[in-house]
Chains A and B, each alone.
Chain A
Amino acid sequence: MRGVVFVECCINFPRFVDCCAHTFIIDGRIRDFPRVVMLAANSVSLLMPISALGIYLHAIFVSITLGFPFVIGAFLFKWWRTRDEDYYRAARTATGVLAVNFALGAITGTLVEFGLVQAWPGTIYAIATVAFVPLAAELVAFVGEIVFLVAFIVTLRRVRPWFSILLLGGYFAFAAFSGALITIVNSWINVPWGTGALASVLYPYLPEYGPAAFDTPVLVKVKLALVDTLLKTGTASQILQSPEVAQAVGISLKDPFVALYSPYALVSVLHNVTAAVIIGMAIASAALAYRHLRAGDQRYVKLLRSFLPILLVLLIVQPTVFGDSMGKAVAEFMPTKFAMMEGAATTMQNPLVAFLAYGDPSKPIPGFDAFRKACEAHGDTTVGGIAPVVVTGYSPGPSSNIRLRDLCLRDLAAAEGRLALINGAYYVKIGAGVVALVSVVALTSSVFNLGPLSKVVSILFGRLGGRRLLFLLAILVLLGSILPAALGWYVREVGRKPWTVYGLLYPEELVTPTPVSAATMAAFTTLFTAMSVGGIVGMYLVATRPLEFVRLLRRGAGVEE
């Protein structure tokens, strides 16, 4: 039995200590080592999918939160200019959906936040340092969102349309600000800006991450404490519970604003927020196209026209400007992820990709062979050999014998194991994005007269009939928006593995020390999923049964009865 556990350990957790070969004697406790390491690995394998599910569910609601203000704003603008009540009624219905959605977004966001500190308490160190400023500022964004949304809802039609649009704009501004701040934190774990050359010392193929805003010896001390505790006890994050450890660590970050300066964060914010807005608007356009398909009422086409040009512009800008910048940033700062995206098991030439990524078609795309070669440069250097150079008064621990070359190669192997998956996901994402772009151009051409373009669409899809064509194109836009976003997030998160903080920290170092049972987590996940599904059903009810909704509200207000 011990042998089975030991082998599982080597498969799941091969990177800290050479447990498959020879170095698994930790403080003389040979038998304990495989068991204790399994503890963190098991928790990670159990909690990681739950965290991912939570984030994906939250993303659904965030998309509507960010996309619907454009839709409602367009309706209100048209209502203001034309006094056509159809626009007002549509704005009111969409506002009901937005209100339910916001409640669900807020609650899933809160749960993701709780999940972060409870399932991954090691992140508390990041929250207390580099994420302090973004998360503190996010409070303003969150409260601002609520104040403007409630003010918008209760004053709708009580104030002039331009004032409602202004309130809605305030709501969107804070919602986008919130999204931007959270993206900045996420960007830091992708590209740990401010850690200087630390990651590149461990992994020579990585670049430097900005100026050393962190105190490097302190950061190394934290890393060593995490690894040594993990190897001794099976989990690591509990060291943050000790006031003595906190005192010993001391000031870690010299510039708390450093996450805001990351060039990777800036492009990520533009890319992510725009993606969310696109999805939200695509959901609204699909809903209108569906109603048009079912009812054949031209009113829905009229409503669609009011915001479709915005969606068209965003779907053009997203891949050509923001997506392009994002790709360049990944190529510059996350070489393993870029190699995984491009399927570069070995260094390869691809003039088009190289031109897009580096601005130089002749530049080769570094593959895993190049990274492995870089790892070899470590020679026989061990953690214990290099640590005293950085940390004054270093005392050897269980990690002292780890060879940097082995560590580097094993982490590469772990990353390369996901190459096919990431490569496939990335190119499906690109393909889906192209479908969305073509579809939105066709959709716009079918509801506006764009001369030859409209004629081409009519010829190509004329047999389908107007209603079905509109619905088909709207669905393609929706799928072409959701798929790239979902897969893009997958590439972003899984592509930085095996690290949680790229090049610095593993999930096993951050996971909770509390042993969690699969049954408890299954029950929790079921509850979480049921809640989200119930919320989506609720939004559907609000969108499809507005008259019942209004009648009931009137009863509640005592107007009827």
Chain B
Amino acid sequence: MNATEFFSFNLLGISVLVHIAFVNITMGTGWISAMARFLAWRRNDASLEIMSRRVFKILIVHELFSGVWGTIITVVLAGFFPTLLAIATDVIFYPILIAVAAIIIRIPSIALFWYSWGKVQPGIHSALGFVMALSGFAVPMGFRYIFTEITYPHGVGIALGGSPDIARFAVFYNPLYPPLILHTWMGAMSVGGFITASFFVIKGNTSPKFLWIGLWHGVLFLAVQPLLGLWYLLALGDRAPILYNNILGTAQSTVNLLPMFIAKLLVVAALAGLSYVVWRSVKRGAGVAPRHALALGPLAVLTVLLGEYMNDGGRSPYLVLLGETGLPPATFSNIYIRIPFPLVFTILAVLVVFLFGFMATVYYALNRRFLEDLPEA
């Protein structure tokens, strides 16, 4: 990779990682909020309804920003890798359509879930909550086909073989897809649980009961992840040996990610250990919320980031893997113009500044409970 390709590859990677971090939070908290709302109705438990609303605030403040980074990915793809985007919008047309349709349902259902609270029957409202939550999971259901196709071009290979009409449906049968999507979904569930657990340790927002609910969600879905992760890894061994070798740092690796893989396993172990300690402190919501439970959410997000980094960066020096070899980023790069890098660097610097500005705002909105100011009489 030359400097330009290296930059473009990393820019795409960073955008994906930031986006993934945010969407895991919104998907997971969306599910927990909907579930809490449903249980509040079924058990006639008002406190669960309060929990649902509080968890939903986490989703609200993160949702727009996660969406922005999705847009950034699209622009980076169109601007830096136009050839890849042109292929994706054709061969992966239908999965992208599914994702876009899911986005269409997701955003209004978030607004409707929030604004119809108390104005419609609890059963209808709970159903709306599940529509909101499940549509969040349908977004990666579409987009993850892009990731599997650049790791193992099942449909794209058929298209290149001269059968684009067959290829557009063949993408749905990519053998890497089932373990990847399940790994993604369970990861988001787990992150949502742990973020919720951390949220209810914040000063002024403490609730051992809600913490415990978040914790068991996180632990439950974390428990299935090793199995799904192993399934995905074995599938990579069969279909994408480069990625497999790089993750395990074998002699054939093009980039050794074994230290990162070990780091991920250690983080998962730390998360499990910390969960055990917290679990003992607040079993079934009784007891005192320990301050160190604050680390649960960040650790869960870190786990996801390490996994996603390996899945995406592990294809280096290629962008699209083809079994034992691959296509470098240069194959798909924008060679129609000379990229104005001073402008690109300026834009990136501003985005980083805004990212910090946004984090500060979120801190004030959630930790300092600035959102409480709205309910003035």
Contacts and interface: CB of A to CB of B under 8 A. Distances in A.
B100 A111 contact: yes
Given A139-B72, A150-B61, A251 B336 contact: yes
B85 interface: yes
Nearest to A143: B354
A528 B97 CA distance: 12
In the A-B complex, the 10 residue pairs with the closest CB atoms: A556-B53, A554-B375, A128-B82, A240-B86, A107-B107, A553-B375, A154-B370, A127-B78, A514-B93, A154-B365
A147 B86 contact: no
A11 interface: no
Contact of B74 (A114, A150, A251, A253): A114
- Chain A interface SS verdict (over half): helix
- Chain B interface SS verdict (over half): helix
Contacts of B372: 557, 559
Interface in A210-247: 237-238, 240-243, 246-247
Contacts of B327: 243
Interface stretch (A118-126, A368-376, A442-450): A118-126
A251 B90 contact: no
A251 to B, nearest CB: 7
Interface centre among A132, A138, A155 (most CB of B within 10 A): A132
Contacts of A561: 46, 50
Contacts of B263: none
A146 B53 contact: no
Interface of B: 46, 49-50, 53-54, 56-57, 61, 63-65, 67-68, 70-72, 74-75, 78-79, 82-83, 85-87, 89-90, 93, 96-97, 100-101, 103-105, 107-108, 110-112, 115, 117-119, 164-165, 168, 327, 331-332, 334-340, 343-344, 347, 350-351, 354-355, 357-358, 361-362, 364-365, 369-377
7 contacts: A92-B374, A110-B103, A111-B100, A118-B89, A150-B365, A154-B364, A251-B338
A204 to B, nearest CB: 28
A538 B361 contact: no
Contact of A249 (B70, B336, B362): B336
A514 B370 contact: no
B90 A513 contact: yes
A69 to B, nearest CB: 17
Nearest to B362: A150
A102 B63 CA distance: 12
Contacts of B369: 557
Given A132-B339, A512-B93, 18 more contacts: A92-B374, A103-B110, A107-B104, A113-B74, A128-B78, A136-B343, A150-B61, A150-B361, A154-B371, A157-B376, A238-B86, A241-B83, A242-B83, A249-B336, A252-B336, A535-B108, A538-B115, A556-B54
Interface stretch (A383-391, A451-459, A491-499, A544-552): A544-552
Interface in A14-40: none
A555 B79 contact: no
A539 to B, nearest CB: 9
A557 B371 contact: yes
A135 B340 contact: no
Contact of A241 (B87, B96, B97, B373): B87
Contacts of A110: 67, 70-71, 103
B53 A555 contact: yes
Contacts of A124: 78, 82, 85-86, 89
A137 B335 contact: no
A156 interface: yes
Given A118-B97, A242-B83, A512 B89 contact: yes
Contact of A133 (B165, B335, B340): B340
A42 interface: no
